[in-house]
Structure 1
């Protein structure tokens, strides 16, 4: 009897194997062959789903974005004060625990797209801008803030914290990170 393969699970396995290879060896080491080996699949099995390395990388990065978005949306389903909701949502971008590999891979991918001059709009920035706009429309932000500048500031804070954590040069535990982001939110909320 032939083995039944769940194609979506197989593609996710390949994508997560791609993450592991990128986190360990960088994008330069993320050949289809090394990814197949990491996934414990044949080269042909990987090529069955992805015709090119570029297609595989795009799918793997899309899965990172999808997972982060799903976690953020889970926070919106729980009743909580708006500032706490925003804090919890922003913490999903901080590379702690299982989220570390996502951030490593994301940064490698962004660097790769920059080198190829193919970087499109930043979905994280767009998400933050949308969040800030909604908070402002609901009267939750101070009236005297510049929305564009504050969105850039908040995005830079989260990205900077993430980078510092990955570099390991500044010791930041989860409580300290929450405090730093909460302090920024206190500054812009009414």
Structure 2
């Protein structure tokens, strides 16, 4: 009897192998051959799902984005105060120990797209902008704020924290990250 293969599961396995290769060897080391080896699959099995390296990288990046968005959206279902929901959502954008690989992949891929002049927008900025605008429309934020400036400021904080964590030069734990984000939101909330 032939083995039944779950194609979506196989594609996710290949994408996660891609993340591991990118985290270890950088994007330049993410050849289809090295990804197949990491996934413990034949080159032909990987090519069955992805015709080109570009297609594979796009899928791997899309999976990172989908996972992060899914985790962020879970926080909107919690019956917590809006500020705590915002803190929890922003914490998803800063890599903790188990999510460092997502941020490594994100930065490598973003740099790659920038070099190719193919980066059209920043989902992190868009997410922060959407969140802050919704909070403002809901009447939760102080009235004298320059919303666009606050979005840029918060985006810079989140990106800066993420970068410092990846560089590993400044040791900063999850509690301290949360305290910094909370202090920032204290400035914005009524």
How many residues are aligned here? Answer: 190
Report whether the alignment pairs 1:131 with 2:131. yes
Q: Deviations over 1:74-117 (max 9, x none)?
A: 11111100000000000001111221000000000011011111
Kindly report which structure 2 residues correspond to 1:19-168, keeping only aligned pairs within 5 A, or say none: 19-168=19-168
The answer for unaligned runs of 5 or more in structure 1 is none
- CA shift digits 1:120-168 (9 cap, x unpaired): 1111111111111100000011111111110011011011001001111
- Deviations 1:9-63 (Å, cap 9, x if unpaired)? 0000000000000000000000000000000000010000000000000000000
Consecutive aligned runs of 4 or more in structure 1 exceeding 2 Å deviation: none
Q: Please, which runs of 5 or more residues in structure 2 have no aligned partner?
A: none
**Tell me, what secondary structure is at the counterpart of 1:98?**
helix
Secondary structure class of the residue paired with 2:95: coil
2:61–2:106 Cα contact (<8 Å) kept: yes
Give the TM-score, by structure 1 length.
Answer: 0.99
Q: Distance in 2 between matches of 1:47 and 1:120?
A: 28
TM-score by length of 2: 0.99
SS at match of 1:5: coil
Q: CA RMSD in A?
A: 0.6
Partner of 1:5: 5
